[in-house]
Each structure stands twice: as C-alpha cells, then as structure tokens.
Amino acid sequence: MPHADTVQAIRWENKQLQLLDQRLLPHKTVYLEFDGVVVVAEAIRDMVVRGAPAIGITAAYGVVLAARARFAESSANWKALIEADLQTLAQSRPTAVNLFWAIECMREVITGLQGDPEPALLAEAKKIHSNDIAACRCMGERGAALIEQPCAILTHCNAGALATGGYGTALGVVRAGFSAGKITHVYADETRPWMQGARLTAWEMVQENIPVTLQVEGAAAHLMQQGKIDWVIVGSDRIAANGDVANKIGTYGLAILARYHGVKFMVVAPTSTVDMNIVCGEDIPIEQRSADEVLSLAGQSTAAAGATAWNPAFDVTPVALVDAIVTERDVVLAPNKEKMAAMMENI
C-alpha cells in the first residue's frame, strides 16, 4: 500500500492523464487513463477525482488533452474550437472555484500561443500541479503554528493528499502538526453520503501512523462536550470575499458546535480557492447532487421505497464562526472583508 503523503492522485504519464479512482479506496488502488476532455469532465463529475485543488489540476490537464485534439482537427482554428471544451470542463462541478481558476490560467496561455499548443499548455498544467503541492506544505506549517499545545483535532470530509496535488490542506496542517508534536490524535467524521472521511481521510492517517478515530457526524457535539478536541480543521471549495466559507455539507453545523463549546475553527485553502468576485456566501452556487446518493449505499437501497432526498454537496459557514483562514500567502485571524482584501491584494 503506498504512503498517503506521497501517493499521487493525479499523474501525467505517457502523454495521458492518469487519475487514482477515489471511489474504490480504501479497498483498491486503481489508476484510470484519460485521453480526451469529455471523459475528464465526466471523471470530475462522477467523483473519480474530488477536492477543489485536485479538480483544478485535473481540469488543467484536461485542457492539454483538448488542445491536442483540436489542433489535430484544425491547426488554423483550434483556439475557437477549444472554447466548447473549456465550457464542458467548467460545467462538471459548480462550487469548486479552483476549477474555474485553473481554466482561466490555461485560457490565458492559449491566447498567446502560436503553433503546436501542447508543450506550453502541458508546462502550465504541471506548474499549477507543482505550485499546489508547495502551497500545501506552506499552509501545513502556517496552520500548525497556530496550535499552542498538544491536542486532538476534528476534521470533516477529506482535505488531504487525495484532494490536492499532494500533502493536503487541512490534513497538511495535521501532518505538520503531528510531526511537531502539536497534534496527538485525529477524529474524522464519516462524511455521508460519499464517506470521504471513512474511506479517504482515515486511510491517509493510517498509512502514516497518525492516530485516527472515525465517528458519525452526529457524534461531533458529544465529542466537543467531552472536551476531547481543541480545533476543528477543514478545507474549502470556495471562500467569498468577506470570508464566508463553502465546504462539504455538514461543515456549517460543526462551526456552530465549535463556537458553542469554545473549540477553535480553522479553514485551510490556497488563495486559488478565494473568489473575490463573490461578495458573500449567499452568492456561492451550491451543487445539488443525485438523491440516489442519499437513498442508497454502495448500490444497495437504504431508504423506504417512495422516500425522496435532498442532497446539497456543500454548505456555507459564515465568517463570524471562523477563527482562522490559512492560505499559502498568509494567516487571517478573525477574518473579515477588509482582512481578506488585504491578503488578496496584488495576487
């Protein structure tokens, strides 16, 4: 079994994009190969790859594949043709702003290209990938520095090496904090309906011998009431200009519980996740996924026949409930609109 800190959720080999199929973890480690943009968009939509930074990186490589095909189709008109492919990628998932950020980065490169576009676009995609890994390691150190004494933490969903280019955002802080003796134990929510906490976060922690205890989401309040954790540490798929945070459904409830129990709440995400064009959380589009994800588990029905389900993939935590937003650029304590603007200035 590969070490979770070094596992590559995204690879470019033999001129193809390879994605670790996260739907099969922790039981199987299988890489799928992709050579076209439509199947890359489907992989994002179908949760082969997930996590905002990883989605952005995957989309960047998807643009490389699209450019290769369009240039072969028409070397004179490929720039016009590829716009449809960029839209296909953009429509794969609506909430993770890293997706749109990465597409715009690639579009800027496309604008100035002459001749075969693949080398320059591949270089840009690899740059986005490597920069994300470096950012995660920086965030890990910054976030760990906020923890004053050895403690246990709670995390939700998976914001680790599997959700990023490598190392992780929230779990990057866990890795750095555990190495420094500041984090002693990780409590992980199961994270229904896709069970990212059970399948992915717990797997990453086990691979690195970081003590981890899995719990149902409903146990979080009791855990805090028992005084067993000092921090909730999560990632984000989009952060509004005022500091409101969109993350996996259930994060908002954790933030409310944390504030009531005096537990600190940390959000860890790269600056590519901050959307200064979104004024506040109310304006963040929230992805609605299939009811079948709630009504069944592993293909087996778990609900009464005739029942319906509401399945928002994300919720929004108001900035007033956030103690710290950690990016590769800075740490924003008690964030607000002015502090967010100051951090994002000149980026």
In this model, does residue 134 exceed pLDDT 70? yes
- AA identity, residue 22: Q
Are 212 and 178 a contacting pair, CB within 8 Å? no
Are 322 and 263 a contacting pair, CB within 8 Å? no
Q: Dihedral (C-alpha) 175, 177, 183, 184: value to the nearest 10 degrees?
A: 60
Measured CA to CA, the distance from residue 63 to residue 68 in angstroms comes to: 9
In this model, does residue 6 exceed pLDDT 70? no
The predicted pLDDT at position 346 comes to 63
Measured CA to CA, the distance from residue 56 to residue 128 in angstroms comes to: 9
What is the dotted CATH code of the domain comprising 139-344?
3.40.50.10470
Mean pLDDT to the nearest integer, 99-111: 97
Q: Please report, rounded to a whole number, the percentage of residues in the chain having pLDDT higher than 90.
A: 96
Check if 237 is active-site.
yes
pLDDT of 223-261, one tens digit each?
999 999 999 999 999 999 999 999 999 999 999 999 999
In this model, does residue 102 exceed pLDDT 70? yes
Identified catalytic residue from 237, 244, 275, 323: 237
Helix ranges (H only) for 146-291 are 170-179, 196, 202-207, 220-225, 251-261
The predicted pLDDT at position 7 comes to 73
Q: Please report, rounded to a whole number, the percentage of residues in the chain having pLDDT higher than 70.
A: 98
The predicted pLDDT at position 299 comes to 83
Mean pLDDT to the nearest integer, 276-303: 94
pLDDT of 168-191, one tens digit each?
999 999 999 999 999 999 999 999
The predicted pLDDT at position 263 comes to 98
The sign of the torsion formed by the CA atoms of 45, 51, 57, 60 equals positive
- Model pTM score: 0.94
In this model, does residue 43 exceed pLDDT 50? yes
The pair phi, psi for residue 182, each rounded to 5°, is: -95, -30
The predicted pLDDT at position 77 comes to 96
Tell me if the bond preceding 285 is cis, omega within 30° of 0: no
pLDDT of 44-82, one tens digit each?
999 999 999 999 999 999 999 999 999 999 999 999 999
Mean pLDDT to the nearest integer, 155-175: 97
The predicted pLDDT at position 5 comes to 52
- Residue 77: burial class (beta carbons within 10 Å; 0-12, 13-18, 19+): exposed
- Compute the mean pLDDT over every residue in the chain, rounded to the nearest whole number: 96
Measured CA to CA, the distance from residue 192 to residue 313 in angstroms comes to: 10
pLDDT of 298-331, one tens digit each?
789 999 999 999 999 999 999 999 999 999 999 9
Q: What is the CATH architecture assignment of 10-134? A: Up-down Bundle (1.20)
Measured CA to CA, the distance from residue 51 to residue 153 in angstroms comes to: 20
> Where are the chain's structural domains?
10-134, 139-344
The predicted pLDDT at position 1 comes to 41
Measured CA to CA, the distance from residue 132 to residue 138 in angstroms comes to: 10
